[in-house]
Amino acid sequence: MTTSLPLKWRRNAAKASRQDQHFLALVLDAWSSRHSVGPVSFAISIATGIGAGAAGVALQMASRWPAVPLAVQVGIGATAGVLAMIATRQRFASQKARHAAAMALASSFLEASRDCVKLLDLQGHMLRINDYGATLMEASSPVELEGADWLGFWKGDDHDAAMAAFKCALGGTAASFRGSCTTTAGQPKWWDSQLIPIKDHNGKVIAVVCASLDISNQTRLHAELRTKSELMSEMEAHVQLAFFSYSANFEYFHYITAGSSNVFGIDREELLRNPNGWLDLVVPEDRVALQAEMGRMMAESSEGRAQYRIRKADGTVHWLRGTGYPVLDDNGNVLRIVGIVEDVTAEQERIAELDRLAYTDSLTGLANRAALLREIESRCAARKPFGLMFVDLDRFKVLNDTLGHLAADHLLRDVGGVIRGSLPDDAYVARLGGDEFAVLIGGVVDKAGLEALAQALLGSLSANRLQGGAGAFITASIGISVYPEHGSDHDALLSSADVAMYTAKKMGRNGYQFAGEEAARTIGDFELERDVPEALTTNQFFLHFQTIHEPHSLAVHSAEALIRWRHPARGLISPSDFIPLLEETGFVSDVGVWVLDHALRQLAAWRQASAMNLGISVNVSARQLGSEQIVRDVGRALKQYGIPPGKLEIELTETALMKNPQQAQKSIVELKRLGVRIAIDDFGTGYSSLMYLADFAPHTVKIDRHFTSKIEHDPTTQTIVEGIIGLAHKLGIKVIAEGVENAAQLDILRRVNCDYVQGFLLSEPQAPEGLMKQRA
């Protein structure tokens, strides 16, 4: 469906078309220096032509042919005039056709022009503007701008430039300028304008044509490019990096940024003249690896990275990091290498500082434990013998508690200086923490040489006195191990030296010891300690039971649960080897709970097999007794396995009671409230046994095997045993004698009315199945 334009729009369009034609006519007329031929001019030309023609013919005939009559002469002249008139008319018609053609051509030019074309009068007012120009100026039509002050659109310096160009055009010379002015909608635009004077046939300027090209987009793009260029220049001037395009064989640069001056200290022009000038700055230690990486990039056509050092002309060393990317053609050949080189000196310095902080003891400035371990592993990897000294200050805790932390810190700093000053320059000194130091000796590895160094160190420490510390002497104990004799890694070497150091302390302090068999045993203990968690989870622990008997009838009264450990690599381990280890490391609490659970579970099984009167004894450590958790663990286990509380007897050693008597008494009271029986094991070997009878009121005391073993040969021991039994009975306490190994011992214990006996004579520790057979 076709919709015709509104009548008003059609009229405006027609009016604009007539105005454009008028505008073109004026321009063409001015440029051609011709005027339009009107009807009056045309008539005058015809009359003039006719008259001139007749007169001319008559005069010629009179002069040449006087005999010809005048009328004939006039007729001939009139005919010539008519012919002249016809020629004149044809000339004017031809001129009009050419004018019409020029008008059509000019109209086409204006329609095709992408300029804003304006006709200005001598005062700078717009007589006319083409349609496209009106669109560029965001006017509704050319009519809107008729009579507008063209100079008024320009402001500031742009106005001055426009005025200067306009005056130049008024003077008869074409001029141009570039500037910004706003459209009728207030939108700023940039224009490249040319002003051409229009002159009449006398050369007088009668108007000015202004053709303006809208260059706003070009100007904006140019400004953006200039901004980016300035930004890149600023970046290159300040950042420590350079971009480059290298030839495929690294022989010359296609391009390199000005940042090369910051990175290499060499100007870009110099690098373009001497492409390998930067390579000459690389320190010799790094040059081989760098050139190898460059060669690999060319051979494999793959990305390459390298970090290296250069020494600039001023002597300073800088760290650089380069990354190159091969650019390939369609056949996979390298066309060029593009990439970046940056100065990473500050980054390397930060890394070095972080490394220093991570591996330096903040108090003494010596290497710390992490640094020592790293150094030991490095020396072990080199497989060259070296010695390790483990230095521990004597009585440091007393000094620390007496003199205060500040004085103790001062002492530790002094000690670090003394150790460093007493040993060879190549000695590696570290502080492990607290009052522990370590020294690695590489130049001296024989025993005599290490002994001499240890003696010199001890002498220097003894001669040093703590300032402000009332002249306190400083002594140390030193343990020495040697690679590879005493270990092939830091764990073994440190453990060996540590054990040797403790041996030196046991022998009176202020001395040194080399690692030996004791060190090997301690290392084995460390390995066992490491294996305890796995032993708990994989059921490596198990229980044996030793029965406790009534001495006369030998009836089984109860059984003591005894833990055993079958190690997958070391086989059956003696309790005397691993129980002290458990107590020292704290694993004894976890293992103690495991023993309690498994002992009561076994008692429940025996009770189901009709052994209802059987009781069970379980040993509890000092660590367990020193925590309220023991009461909760016992209560839970009794309920879980349905055991009457009176059938469980908790055995406590004097050592356990002495650790924390207040907490021990509190735990014993709570256990008694549960109905559990309390026994004191190894009775008579401590210093306060009788005090324990009063303070803890146990249900049972167990006479230590030390007394039982001497009872048949030593009347004094027999008297002591008899006295313990008599005193216990008066207090209502039952007595068990441990370590009964022969009939003579059993007979004596019967005579002195011992309540129960336990020992190899009656039963060895055995598996649960063997105990049931014994009862049967």
User: Does residue 600 sit within a domain?
Assistant: yes
Instruction: Read off the pLDDT of each residue in 309-317 and give the average, rounded to a whole number.
Output: 93
pLDDT score, position 445: 83
User: Does residue 365 sit within a domain?
Assistant: yes
Domain that holds residue 345: 239-349
How far apart, in whole angstroms, are the C-alpha atoms of residue 87 and residue 685?
161
The region of weakest confidence among 39-53, 593-607, 634-648 is: 39-53
Do 487 and 404 sit in the same domain of this protein?
A: yes
The region of weakest confidence among 69-83, 479-493, 577-591 is: 69-83
Q: Which residue in 221, 208, 230, 242 sits closest to 320, CA to CA?
A: 242
How is residue 440 written in tokens? 């690695």
The answer, yes or no, to whether residue 29 has pLDDT greater than 70, is no
For residue 98, name the pLDDT band (cuts at 50, 70, 90).
low
How is residue 551 written in tokens? 């001495």
Do 714 and 586 sit in the same domain of this protein?
A: yes
pLDDT score, position 18: 47
For residue 468, name the pLDDT band (cuts at 50, 70, 90).
very low
pLDDT score, position 245: 92
How is residue 34 written in tokens? 């011709």
How far apart, in whole angstroms, are the C-alpha atoms of residue 189 and residue 271?
44
How far apart, in whole angstroms, are the C-alpha atoms of residue 735 and residue 311?
88
Q: Which of 491, 515, 539 is the last residue of a domain?
A: 515
The answer, yes or no, to whether residue 16 has pLDDT greater than 70, is no
Question: Which residue is listed with tokens 């690999």?
Answer: 296
User: Does residue 634 sit within a domain?
Assistant: yes
- 702-738 residue pLDDT tens: 999 989 999 999 999 999 999 999 999 999 999 999 9
User: Does residue 671 sit within a domain?
Assistant: yes
Q: Which residue in 370, 372, 460, 365 sits closest to 413, CA to CA?
A: 365
How far apart, in whole angstroms, are the C-alpha atoms of residue 500 and residue 514?
6
Domain count, the chain: 4
Q: Which residue in 310, 316, 317, 314 sits closest to 290, CA to CA?
A: 310
What is the residue-averaged pLDDT of the chain?
83
Single-letter amino acid code for the residue at 239:
V
For residue 31, name the pLDDT band (cuts at 50, 70, 90).
very low
The answer, yes or no, to whether residue 549 has pLDDT greater than 90, is yes
Q: In what helix (H) or strand (E) does residue 177 lie, and over which residues does it extend?
A: strand 175-182
Do 549 and 674 sit in the same domain of this protein?
A: yes
CB 408 within 8 A of CB 396: yes
Do 551 and 648 sit in the same domain of this protein?
A: yes
Instruction: Read off the pLDDT of each residue in 688-693 and give the average, rounded to a whole number.
Output: 69
Instruction: Read off the pLDDT of each residue in 158-171 and give the average, rounded to a whole number.
Output: 96
Do 148 and 122 sit in the same domain of this protein?
A: yes
CA end-to-end span of the chain: 119
Q: Which residue in 567, 680, 571 sits closest to 625, CA to CA?
A: 680
- Residues paired with residue 392 on neighbouring β-strands, in sequence order: 436, 477
- Produce one character per residue of 684-716: b if its CB has 16 or more CB atoms within 10 Å, e if not: bebeebeebbeebebbbbbbbbebbbbbbeeee
CATH number for position 602: 3.20.20.450
- 265-306 residue pLDDT tens: 998 899 999 998 999 999 999 999 999 999 999 889 899 999
Do 387 and 481 sit in the same domain of this protein?
A: yes
Do 670 and 765 sit in the same domain of this protein?
A: yes
Q: In what helix (H) or strand (E) does residue 241 lie, and over which residues does it extend?
A: strand 241-247
pLDDT score, position 99: 55
- 400-455 residue pLDDT tens: 777 777 878 888 888 899 999 999 988 999 999 889 999 999 988 888 999 999 99
User: Does residue 663 sit within a domain?
Assistant: yes
Do 542 and 498 sit in the same domain of this protein?
A: no
User: Does residue 114 sit within a domain?
Assistant: yes
CB 180 within 8 A of CB 220: no
Q: Which of 349, 376, 407 is the last residue of a domain?
A: 349
For residue 201, name the pLDDT band (cuts at 50, 70, 90).
confident
The answer, yes or no, to whether residue 501 has pLDDT greater than 80, is yes
The answer, yes or no, to whether residue 588 has pLDDT greater than 90, is no
The fraction of the chain above a pLDDT of 90, given in percent, is 52
For residue 57, name the pLDDT band (cuts at 50, 70, 90).
very low
Do 494 and 448 sit in the same domain of this protein?
A: yes
Beta strands at 334-343 and 428-433: parallel, antiparallel or unpaired: unpaired
> For the purposes of burial, counting CB atoms within 10 Å of the CB of 495, is it exposed (0-12), middle (13-18) or buried (19 or more)?
buried
Angstrom CA distances, 21 to 25, 104, 128, stand at: 6, 9, 11
User: Does residue 64 sit within a domain?
Assistant: no
Q: Which residues lie closer than 8 Å to 93 by C-beta, 6 or more apart?
A: none
Please state the separation of Cα 403 from the chain's center in Å. 44
CB 55 within 8 A of CB 76: no
- 632-679 residue pLDDT tens: 999 999 999 999 999 999 999 877 777 778 888 899 999 999 999 999
CATH number for position 431: 3.30.70.270
Do 334 and 446 sit in the same domain of this protein?
A: no
Instruction: Read off the pLDDT of each residue in 295-321 and give the average, rounded to a whole number.
Output: 92
Do 631 and 690 sit in the same domain of this protein?
A: yes
Give the angle subtended at the CA of 596 by the CAs of 593 and 599, to the nearest 5°. Answer: 145
Instruction: Read off the pLDDT of each residue in 67-81 and give the average, rounded to a whole number.
Output: 52
How far apart, in whole angstroms, are the C-alpha atoms of residue 21 and residue 772?
132
- 218-273 residue pLDDT tens: 988 988 888 887 777 677 666 678 889 999 888 999 988 888 888 999 988 999 99
The answer, yes or no, to whether residue 503 has pLDDT greater than 70, is yes
pLDDT score, position 533: 86
Neighbours of 474 (CB within 10 A): 24
pLDDT score, position 773: 66
Angstrom CA distances, 280 to 11, 277, 297, 308, stand at: 82, 5, 20, 12
Instruction: Read off the pLDDT of each residue in 142-147 and give the average, rounded to a whole number.
Output: 92
Q: Which of 452, 481, 515 is the last residue of a domain?
A: 515
The answer, yes or no, to whether residue 195 has pLDDT greater than 70, is yes
Do 557 and 477 sit in the same domain of this protein?
A: no
User: Does residue 16 sit within a domain?
Assistant: no
CATH number for position 205: 3.30.450.20
- Residues paired with residue 439 on neighbouring β-strands, in sequence order: 389, 429
For residue 35, name the pLDDT band (cuts at 50, 70, 90).
very low
The fraction of the chain above a pLDDT of 70, given in percent, is 81
Instruction: Read off the pLDDT of each residue in 8-35 and give the average, rounded to a whole number.
Output: 45
Neighbours of 354 (CB within 10 A): 10
